[in-house]
Amino acid sequence: METLFLVITSIFLGIGMYLIYHDYARTKYGYQTRGRVIQLKGEWGYGGNSTSHLYYPIVRFYSEGKQELQRRLEVGFSIPLFSKGQDLKIIYYNDKAYPAGTMWKLLYWCIFLISLGAAIIQLYYW
């Protein structure tokens, strides 16, 4: 049973590292701006033996060249966290829009640090 928990912890540790690295790359090389949610789009997702329904905000913003763009935020949620008309910080990177801001960075670091702590504890008692 301990091995299973260590494997699960390792997966979350990898996810945390992935999120931190990609957030760093997007922040460094992407264009940071503000956008406005113009619509919430619900999409069904199928993976393995499960089905999920996620809400993705469609955001209108201006690119570096002052061109008006509309993109789906690359992060979806099972409950609508954003509302129509809401302003939010985004990063435009590789023709995609990603959420930006301190709270997102804290979330990524929390995932990583909690997983790291769980892995250390499990290795200590293993």
Q: What is the pLDDT of residues 44-81, one digit of tens each?
A: 877 778 888 899 999 999 999 999 999 999 998 888 88
| Inter-residue contact 90 to 32 (CB < 8 Å) | yes
- CA atoms of 10 and 83, how far apart (whole Å): 35
Residues 6+ apart with CB under 8 A from 123: 6
Report pLDDT for 52.
85
**Structural tokens at position 21:** 């690295």
Amino acid at 80: P
Q: What percent of the chain has pLDDT over 90?
A: 76
Length of the chain: 126
Rounded-to-integer distance, Cα 92 and Cα 98, Å = 7
User: Exposed, middle or buried by CB within 10 Å (0-12, 13-18, 19+), for 64?
Assistant: exposed
Residue 32: beta bridge partners? 91
How far is residue 57's CA from residue 41's CA, in Å, rounded to a whole number? 6
